Homo-oligomer: A and B are copies of this chain.
């Protein structure tokens, strides 16, 4: 596995996909999303339920229902998605899995690793979903394998 869990990868791709497809108060269904990002539909449904419960995305049942994101949702940093799914370890945890990453009792990787972890945090925490999405709207980036 890479840096994020597969579940988290699906979640991020889905969020970008929804952001991309619902610029004007429209909604997009689970089928479209799962096809659009190459993920198992039922599994993704669970993930989106979760994000929806947490208020990271929104949904509506019934005809013309589906998932969508409000302006507020779009302004959120991507780290909210990651944290919802994978938790906070990736941002705070020790590279070697020591219970506490600390300056007091640093592991051999601590100093350099901390810098890298901070860069990752800055990237995910400092960039809104909307601004990632702009590249996507401009056709510069992709969600498709």
Interface residues of A (CB under 8 A from B): 1-6, 9-10, 12-13, 16, 78, 86, 89-90, 93-100, 105-110, 112-113, 115-117, 119-120, 123, 127, 132-133, 135-136, 140-145
Contact = CB atoms under 8 A, between A and B. Distances in A.
A104 B12 CA distance: 20
B9 A96 contact: yes
A9 B97 contact: yes
A116 B78 CA distance: 16
Nearest to A89: B2
B143 A96 contact: yes
What does DSSP make chain A's interface, helix, strand, loop or mixed? loop
B95 A3 contact: yes
A72 to B, nearest CB: 20
A142 B98 contact: yes
A75 B42 CA distance: 48
